Amino acid sequence: MVPASFEFHRASSVDEAIALMQQHGEDAKVLAGGHSLVPAMKLRLATPERLIDLGGIQGLKYITDKGDHIAVGAMATHWMLESSSVVQQKAPALSQAAGAIGDVQVRNRGTIGGALAHSDPAADYPGAVLALNASMVIRGSGGERVVPASEYFVGLWETAVQPGELLVEIRIPADAANANSCYLKFAQPASRYPYVGCAIALEKSGGVCGNVRVGFSGVGHSAFRDSGVENAIKGQPVNESTAKAAADNATNGRDVLSDWSVSEEYRRAMARVYAKRALLQVG
């Protein structure tokens, strides 16, 4: 319950935060909502010497409809995304993933930026942002760069954000597939992290599946797009048998996590069940 001592810096702007990060290097950790970091610090699983708090920065907490995309500030909370009507309409998978995280109190405080920067393999968002073909705006002292979600998740706890950089915005394209997307979660009963989180964005055209993107959270070391499912359903009408047949490709060729509570076999099977259900929901 008692974190180790640390110094606390309240950044008042993104530039100040980046400057502080560069000044303190690996000694410093960035604090967004704090809902991954503070729990780890309480158990002394994390003992940073310094925290750089983004809570005081104005202008990172927004959800804006930009017409061709939705711009989400890194400090937007899960609750903001869950309850946002624009997200619900244009990217329901993101709203549903946000609404599946933790509990009400956690969603009130936890942020999308913090969650995506933390890149917990068992987090809800990653599969959703992959399926939504989102891109991440990362800022460093040299300016901003935009990284597609497909290049963002590098591995276990690892993202494209480099030391001294900050994830500042998430952009969700406003396309037909994203408007017809969903996120379904099969939760570990204690932590309620996903055993399987399956996000699917699917464009229906002429009674068959057009553009389709399938993203998984919780299943592997990091989130992934599942082209096996995508290729199998594309161009098909979506019904119980096509959905099942397509979903049975899920996780093919991929390592699937196992732990004391679930076997690899079970998690793989559930990925397929949830892929089928998600396909039927949006199909």
Binding site for another protein (CB under 8 A): 1-8, 10, 31, 34-35, 38-39, 41-43, 51, 53, 55, 79, 83, 102-106, 108-109, 186, 189-193, 260-263, 266, 269-270, 273
Give me the least distance between CB of 109 and another protein, in Å please: 5
Nearer to another protein, 190 or 206 (CB): 190
Nearer to another protein, 151 or 259 (CB): 259
Under a CB-based contact definition with an 8 Å cutoff, are residues 247 and 273 in contact? yes
Give me the least distance between CB of 193 and another protein, in Å please: 8
Nearer to another protein, 10 or 204 (CB): 10
Q: How are strands ordered across the β-sheet holding 224-225?
A: 181-187, 194-205, 208-217, 224-225
Nearer to another protein, 102 or 148 (CB): 102
Under a CB-based contact definition with an 8 Å cutoff, are residues 58 and 74 in contact? no
- Nearest-angstrom CA–CA distance, 130 and 132: 5
Give me the least distance between CB of 104 and another protein, in Å please: 6
Give me the least distance between CB of 59 and another protein, in Å please: 17
Phi, psi of 150 (to 5 degrees): -65, -20
What are the structure tokens assigned to 165, written together? 């950089």
Give me the least distance between CB of 266 and another protein, in Å please: 5
- Nearest-angstrom CA–CA distance, 78 and 84: 10
User: Cα–Cα distances in Å, from 238 out to 91, 173, 204, 211?
Assistant: 20, 23, 9, 13
Nearer to another protein, 141 or 263 (CB): 263
